[in-house]
Structure 1
């Protein structure tokens, strides 16, 4: 009875590794490896202005690099906690190989609200952050106007939090 246990152990280890890799790669959703829009021609002056979304969020990006935020939800999985932050902060337009990104930082939180209908409250959920950072991808719509967006929630769903320019800005 020699030799039969070794191949069996090797196949069992290989099978365990395959199961683990399958589980790990099953979570690789559509935006988990999103590399940007490829846009490189927006200017900070063009990005500055009043931005809103359909949920009542408002972000004012001022030309001096300061920002006003009202009811801005968390990015990625933080969205699921249901908090919405308001306050002041800073922003900057950056550019890399994947395209341009607006980096927004809340530095002075003035209010926390809950999104309605509120997600199921988890008593072990952490307190909403007093400071927070977002990154918005910069893109153009079909009329060549700018849009800002980030991804939120479950990566397998690919939800997009879209901000559009307030009319008249």
Structure 2
């Protein structure tokens, strides 16, 4: 019987450790603990210009700090509301917190249009009113070729979904 008690005690201790580990990592999705790209060499001149997303989003960042936004989705849980904002605003390139790297802070100050990524019936009858102003923070990184990319995470933090903007190409 002594061996059976030890086995049960060991199993209970192991179960307790697994439970503690599960609780500590339950909401530890990649975006929640993203430490940034560590990039610190991007310039305003390099960031300014047109940016696109595969979903038809377009953002133009002027050299003078002005911004034009077309059909940009919400960041984090704002994405789940299904709206896409268009309008004008401002932007700036800044160093993020700590050594995380640079970020583009984009402020929509004048909304001109709202589109819906999802039909209102899919969102639900109580879909929130889209905001008239909004702020995004894009992380700045470089791809394998050294070209800049801008991105933020959206939706459930555990999913790690990235909304990636790439440099607009000449038509």
Q: TM-score range by the shorter chain?
A: 0.7 to 0.9
Query: Does the C-alpha gap of structure 1 residues 114 and 20 become closer, same or farther in structure 2, counting only changes over 3 Å?
Result: farther
Taking the TM superposition and a 5 Å limit, the aligned residue runs for 1:68-107 are 68-96=68-96, 97-107=99-109
Residues in 1 aligned to 2:25 and 2:84: alpha-carbon distance in whole angstroms: 31
Write the deviation string for residues 117-148 of structure 1: whole angstroms up to 9, x where unpaired.
67832223321100000000000011111000
Residues 4-83 of structure 1: pairs in structure 2 closer than 5 A: 22-23=22-23, 25-83=25-83
Please say if residues 69 and 85 of structure 1, whose CA atoms lie closer than 8 Å, have aligned partners that are also in contact.
Answer: yes
Tell me the TM-score normalized by structure 2.
0.82
| Cα gap change, 1:147 to 1:106, in 2 (>3 Å) | same
Task: Spell out, residue by residue over 1:42-90, the C-alpha distance to the aligned partner (whole angstroms, 9 max, x if none).
Answer: 0001000000011000000000000000000000011011000000000
User: Per the alignment, do residues 23 and 119 of structure 1 end up closer, same or farther by CA in structure 2, a change over 3 Å counting?
Assistant: farther
Structure 1 runs not aligned, ≥5 long: 1-17
Number of aligned residues = 153
User: What is the RMSD computed on CA atoms of the aligned residues?
Assistant: 2.3
CA distance in 2, matches of 1:127, 1:21: 39
| Contact 1:70–1:87, Cα closer than 8 Å, also in 2 | yes
Q: Which residue of 1 aligns with 2:10?
A: none
Stretches of structure 2 that go unaligned for 5 or more consecutive residues are: 1-17
Alpha-carbon contact 2:120-2:127 (below 8 Å) kept: no
For 1:150, the equivalent position in structure 2 comes to: 152
> Could you say what secondary structure the match of 2:123 adopts?
coil
Is residue 103–residue 133 contact of structure 1 (8 Å, CA) maintained in 2?
Answer: yes
